C-alpha cells in the first residue's frame, strides 16, 4: 500500500461497494479520495448497491495512482492511467486495470456536480 492509500486525518471514511472513500467538506462540495482495489469492477461490486445498469453519477477528478477502464452506455471506452484528469459523465461502468489500486482524488457536489461543472451527456464519437 502506498502513502496515497493511508487514512487521511480529519476526513470521514466510509466503505461502499468494495471502495474506500475518505472525504472532507469544501464549500458547497466535498473533496474525496476514492480507493478502488485491484479486481474491483462496477458491475460486480457497485451495481448490487445502486440497482442501476450503470453509474448515474458524474465524476470530476485526478487519478493519482493506477489505471481505470471506463465504458459509457453508448459503447465508447476510455482508459485513464495516473497521472491523469478524469471527467466522466453519468451513464458509465468502470473497472481497475492491472494489479495496482486506483486512487482517485474527486471533487463532488452530489447531485449538483453536473450543473456545477457545466457537464451534460457523454459525447464521444470514437469507440
The pLDDT value given to residue 59: 92
Q: Is residue 80 part of a domain?
A: yes
Q: Is residue 53 part of a domain?
A: yes
Q: Is residue 55 part of a domain?
A: yes
Q: Is residue 121 part of a domain?
A: no
The pTM of the full predicted model, rounded to 2 decimals, is 0.89
pLDDT at residue 126 is higher than 50: no
C-alpha triplet 105, 106, 107: angle, nearest 5° = 135
Q: Is residue 120 part of a domain?
A: no
Which residue bears the cell 452506455?
A: 73
Mean pLDDT score of the chain = 90
Number of domains in the chain: 1
pLDDT at residue 38 is higher than 60: yes
pLDDT at residue 101 is higher than 90: yes
Q: Is residue 9 part of a domain?
A: no
Percent of the chain with pLDDT over 70: 94
How far, in Å, are 7, 30, 31, 77, 121 from residue 10 at the CA level? 9, 13, 12, 36, 35
Q: What is the CATH number of the domain that holds 91?
A: 2.60.120.10
- Supply 85's cell numbers: 484528469
The pLDDT value given to residue 122: 67
- The domain in which residue 67 lies consists of 17-110
Q: Is residue 62 part of a domain?
A: yes
From the number of C-beta atoms within 10 Å of its C-beta (0-12, 13-18, 19+), residue 31 rates as middle
Read off the pLDDT of each residue in 85-111 and give the average, rounded to a whole number. 94
Q: Is residue 7 part of a domain?
A: no
pLDDT at residue 1 is higher than 80: no
Q: Residue 67: which pLDDT band, with cuts at 50, 70 and 90? A: very high
pLDDT at residue 119 is higher than 60: yes
H-assigned helices in the chain: 47-50, 113-116
Amino acid at each position: 500500500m502506498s502513502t496515497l492509500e493511508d487514512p487521511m486525518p480529519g476526513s470521514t471514511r466510509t466503505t461502499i461497494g468494495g471502495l474506500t472513500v475518505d472525504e472532507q467538506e469544501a464549500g458547497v462540495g466535498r473533496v474525496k479520495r476514492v480507493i478502488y482495489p485491484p479486481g474491483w469492477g462496477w458491475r460486480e461490486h457497485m451495481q448490487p448497491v445502486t440497482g442501476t445498469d450503470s453509474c448515474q453519477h458524474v465524476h470530476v477528478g485526478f487519478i493519482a495512482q493506477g489505471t481505470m477502464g471506463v465504458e459509457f452506455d453508448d459503447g465508447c471506452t476510455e482508459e485513464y492511467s495516473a497521472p491523469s484528469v478524469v471527467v466522466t459523465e453519468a451513464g458509465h461502468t468502470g473497472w481497475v486495470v492491472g494489479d495496482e489500486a486506483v486512487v482517485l482524488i474527486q471533487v463532488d457536489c452530489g447531485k449538483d456536480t453536473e450543473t456545477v461543472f457545466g457537464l451534460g451527456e457523454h459525447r464521444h464519437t470514437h469507440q
